[in-house]
Chains A and B, each alone.
Chain A
Amino acid sequence: MTGAVRIFVPCDAAALSVGADDVVAAISAEAARRKADIQLVRNGSRGMLWLEPLVEVETPAGRMAYGAVAAGDVAGLFDANFLAGGDHPLKQGETEKIPYFAKQERLTFARCGVIDPLDLKDYEAHGGLQGLGKALKMQPAEIVAAITESGLRGRGGAGFPTGIKWKTVLEQQSGLKYICCNADEGDSGTFADRMLMEGDPFSLIEGMMIASLAVGASEGYIYLRSEYPHAAATLRKAIALWEEAGLSGKREDGSPRFKLHLRMGAGAYICGEESSMLESLEGKRGQVRAKPPIPAISGLFGKPTVVNNVLSLATAPLILAKGADYYKNYGMGRSRGTQPFQLAGDIKQGGLVEKAFGVSLRELIENYGGGTRSGRPVRTAQVGGPLGAYIPAAGFDVKMDYEALAKTGAMLGHGGVVVFNDGVDMARQARFAMAFCEIESCGKCTPCRIGAVRGKETIEKIIDGKNAPENLQLLEDLCDLMTDGSLCAMGGLTPMPVMSAVKHFPEDFGGKNAGN
Chain B
Amino acid sequence: MSADVLVVIERRGAAPVRAALEATGVARRLAGPSGAGRVTAVLLGTALEASAGTIAGLGVDRVITVSDPRFDTFQTALWAAAVAAIARELSSSVILLAGTNNGRQLAGRIAIRWDAAAVTGIADLSPGAAGEITVTRPVFSGRAFQEVRIGAPRVVLGLRPNAFPIPEASSPPAPIAEHAPLELGPLPSGGAVTGFESAQSGIGPDLSDATVIVSGGRGLKGPENFRLLEELALSLGAAIGASRAVTDSGWRPASFQIGQTGKSVSPQLYIAVGISGAIQHLVGMISSRTIVAINSDPSAPIFKVADYGIAGDLFQIVPALTAEIRRVRGS
A binds B: no
Interface residues of B (CB under 8 A from A): none
Instruction: Give me the interface of A with B, judged by CB distance under 8 Å.
Output: none
